[in-house]
Every structure is written in C-alpha cells, then in structure tokens.
Amino acid sequence: MEQPDLDTSVLDARLAAAKEASYRLARATTAEKDAALERIASDLRARASEVIAANGLDLQAGRAAEIGRGLLDRLALDEPRIDALADAVLDVIGLTDPVGETLTGRTLPSGVRIDQVRVPLGVVGAIYEARPNVTIDIAVLALKSGNAVVLRGGSAAEQTNRVLVDVLRGALDAVGLPAEAVQTVDDFGRAGARHLMQARGYVDVLIPRGSAGLIRAVVDEARVPVIETGAGVVHMFLDASAPEHWAIELVHNAKVQRPSVCNALETLLVHQEAAERLLPSVLDRLTDAGVTIHADERVRAIRPDALPVTDEDFATEHMSLDLSVAVVDSLDDALEHIRRFSTKHTESIVTNDLANAERFLNEVDSAAVMVNASTRFTDGAEFGFGAEVGISTQKLHARGPMGLPELTSTKWIVRGAGHVRA
C-alpha cells in the first residue's frame, strides 16, 4: 500500500516521539497545560503576520487549483480570525481538566480498594480538510486533556499548518513540556495519512473531521480505533397536532440559521393531517429566506412550483439552502423514513401530543432526539461543554457533541495490602 519511495522510518520516528511525549503529557499538571495554552494564544497573536503570509501561499495555490469559493473561505485566515482563534484557546483554559477525575470506586468484600479514574487516551490522531483553525482547535483540546496529537490537515492548507504546528510546538517547549507532543504528517501527503491510519500501537484514537467521503475513507482504511464525526442528514417531523407558530419558527431556524453545518435541517416530514394547515405558511417562510424546496407529489399538490424530490435528495446532506419535504401518512411512516435515511445525528418532532412525543424520543435511534426544539441545538457550546471536538454519530465511546471528557479513557487503580484471590 505504501509508495515505494516513502521513508516510513521518519514517520515511525515521529509517531514514537508522540507516544513518548504522551507519557509526559499524561503526568502534566493542569497548571502546566494551561501555561502551554496561554503561550499558544499569545504566540498566535505575536506571529499573526507569519501565519497570514503562509496562508496567502495556500490561498494562491487554492485559487490556481480552482478549489471553489467555499473552500477558500474556510481556508482563509486574517488578523480578526487569528484573534478569534487565540481567544478560543484561552477559553479552553477555563474548562475543567478531566484527567484524574474519579468516576466510581468501592471497597471489595476482600478489603481491596478499586477506583476508576480518568486518564488521557494517549495519542490522538486527527485527519481533516483544509481548515487551519482545526489544527489549533484539536491540538489545544487534546493537550488540555493530556494527550499528544498527530495531525494531518488538508494539503490545501499545508503552508499555514506548518506555521501553526511550529507555534504549538514552540509554546510547549517554552513552558517545559515536550514539543514532540504535537506532530504532523502533512509533508508526506496521502501516504502520511495512510500511515497514520494504520499506526497500531502508536495512535490510540483517530478522529476524522470533514466530508462524508473523507470519513468513509478513514473508516475503510484505518486499523486504529476511529471516532466517526459528522454527516448530518437531519429530520424534522411536523406531527398532526404541531402548533403552527412553532412549526414555522422551528423549521426556519433549523434550516436557515446556518445551513452549512451538520445540525442544520435537511428533510422536513409532515403528517398528512397537518399538511394543508401547515405547509403554506411553513414553506412561505422558507422560500422568503431563499430556500429551494425539493418536494414529493403530495407537497407539490399544495406547492406546484417546488422541484421534485428523489431518494438521492433524501440521502444527501446538502449543507446549503436546499430542503427535501415529504408528506407521510403517520408517525410510523415518519419513523420508517427516518430509519431509512437518517445518519443518526439529530431528529426533532414538533407536536402537542404527549404519547407521540415519547414514542419519537424512544424510537428514533440518533445521537440527539428532540421534541419542539430546533435541531441547531446539537452543539458542544450549546450543551455547555465549552468546546467541541466534533459530533460523534457512532455509538461507541462517545455519541453526540464531544467535549474534553470524550478525549479521555479510564483506568482502574487497585490498592491492596498483600491481598490474594481465594
């Protein structure tokens, strides 16, 4: 699988250095880690012009490669964005350090004492695409929770990331923590990414952040544990009893407030008994906001100018002002549709029927299930986590918005006085 001329010994040396540094980070005090974060924030500001110059090279290459306006916008860093990034680093200082927390403990009948305590995962790998702010975000969250990181940003951000990694390593070194706790494999391109995905024994968890395609590729190729983040084909169901003003506001907020993110609405399902009552005003509010409606036949009977919707639309996370809309016969049909097309991120029911609300909450198998609330609430900051590593759509280890505790594992501390097992 490796390219013939790839010198894996360099990559292995970096991974081994990250592992070694992770042992030191695991023992670092909260004060030491916070000092590093403070230094990262101040160095980011101090070296802003250097970051912006490197970013300029990436932007230039991106424009030449015609990567598109959306990507260019995510890639771009200027003084205000760097300032905001530094502020976000300082915010992490205020978060509770999860390491060392005792989750449970008891004295066994034999007198042996056991305690389950939080420990860092060790080495966190991150694979993401052309968003240099992720470089700082993920490294800072990993460091605060006592982990080393190995980063693979998109090649489109390579020059920017090079400077940012240098800032991170310099700050660690300045406060007496090992610079080796931050590593990059960007200079090895895709071969570096593949090596990272297969680095069993070195990488304790790998977090892909980005498109569905990226995440799928990582899941397919990885031999290390992965936390899948992401894709949100998010549904809202307007039940027969849905109050009209809630329906209008909730659908509008879920779809329009920030359409490019994973908790934004992609599909609206409407109970047949409510379709004529609700759809005109709900859809008017959306089209006024510039939303393109992709609708099934029953919706188009009410709104003939809507585009026809396909199964492909139902399965797509548009991340744009496009919305699929369908009428369903019943709550059961809504649940069935959701089961078929949902990516298990967030779904919401709008209803005034208690039994239906409870059924929806119980039976929808998603990270966040809501009643009468906008799907935009599925978010680490909204949930009060202070920062967000990503939103897990898998069921193992972490589900939904991930904060610092999700970057830890546990270990059992067992204390005896010569106790043997009978």
Residues that bind a copy of itself (CB under 8 A): 23, 26-27, 106, 108, 112, 114, 116, 119, 121-122, 200, 204-205, 219-220, 223, 225-227, 243, 245-246, 249-250, 252-254, 257, 339, 348, 361-363, 365-374, 376-378, 382-384, 394-397, 399-400, 409-421
Q: Which residues contact 189 (CB under 8 A, 6 or more apart)?
A: 155
Residue 346, strand partner residues: 368
By beta-carbon proximity to a copy of itself, the closer residue of 190 and 223 is 223
For residue 135 the two structure tokens come to: 């470089």
Min dist. Cβ of residue 119 to a copy of itself (A): 8
Task: Compute the least distance from the CB of residue 336 to a copy of itself, in Å.
Answer: 11
- Do the strands 322-328 and 346-350 form a parallel or antiparallel pair, or are they unpaired? unpaired
One-letter identity of residue 406: E
Least distance from C-beta 21 to a copy of itself, angstroms? 13
Give me the half-sphere count of Cα atoms (radius 13 Å) on the Cβ side of residue 229: 23
Of 192 and 403, nearer to a copy of itself (C-beta) is 403
Which CB, 39 or 344, lies closer to a copy of itself? 344
Q: What is the largest CA-CA distance in the chain?
A: 80
DSSP alpha helices (H): ranges in 269-353?
272-288, 297-302, 311-314, 331-341
Give me the least distance between CB of 352 and a copy of itself, in Å please.
10
Give the residue among 290, 328, 282 at the shortest CA–CA distance from 309. 328
CB count within 10 Å of CB 7 equals: 12
Q: Is the dihedral of CA 275, 276, 282, 287 positive or negative?
A: positive
* Minimum separation from the CB atom of position 262 to a copy of itself (A): 14
The smaller minimum CB distance to a copy of itself, of residues 65 and 381, is found at 381
Least distance from a copy of itself to the Cβ atom of residue 90, Å: 21
Contacts of 10 (CB under 8 A, 6+ apart): 188
Distance between start and end Cα atoms, the chain:
51
Nearest Cα neighbor of 60 from 48, 75, 70 is 75
Quick one: 221 exposed, middle or buried, by C-beta within 10 A (0-12, 13-18, 19+)? middle
Phi, psi of 304 (to 5 degrees): -65, -20
- What is the b/e burial string over 346-355, where b = at least 16 CB atoms within 10 angstroms of the residue's CB? bbbbbbeeee
Query: Of the candidates 311, 322, 304, which has an alpha carbon nearest to the alpha carbon of residue 264?
Result: 322
Please tell me the distance from the alpha carbon of residue 237 to that of residue 100, in angstroms, as a whole number.
42
For a copy of itself, give the closer residue by CB, 324 or 408: 408
CB closer to a copy of itself out of 7 and 382: 382
Q: Which is nearer to a copy of itself, 45 or 113 (CB)?
A: 113
Name the residue nearer to a copy of itself (CB basis): 5 or 220. Answer: 220
For 152, 239, 244, 283, 334, the CA distances from 277, given in Å and listed in that order, are: 51, 11, 8, 11, 18
Least distance in angstroms from the C-beta of 415 to a copy of itself: 5
Nearer to a copy of itself (CB atom), residue 59 or residue 254: 254
Q: Which is nearer to a copy of itself, 164 or 231 (CB)?
A: 231
Closest CA to 215 of 195, 197, 188: 197
Shortest distance (Å) from residue 401 CB to a copy of itself: 8
Residue of 98, 83, 81, 89 whose CA lies nearest to 35: 89
Residue with tokens 């005090």, as numbered in its chain: 29
- Nearest distance in Å: CB 131, a copy of itself: 22
Kindly state the smallest distance separating residue 299's Cβ from a copy of itself, in Å.
23
State the minimum distance, in angstroms, from the CB of residue 81 to a copy of itself: 22
Complex with a copy of itself: residue 54 or 222, whichever CB lies closer: 222
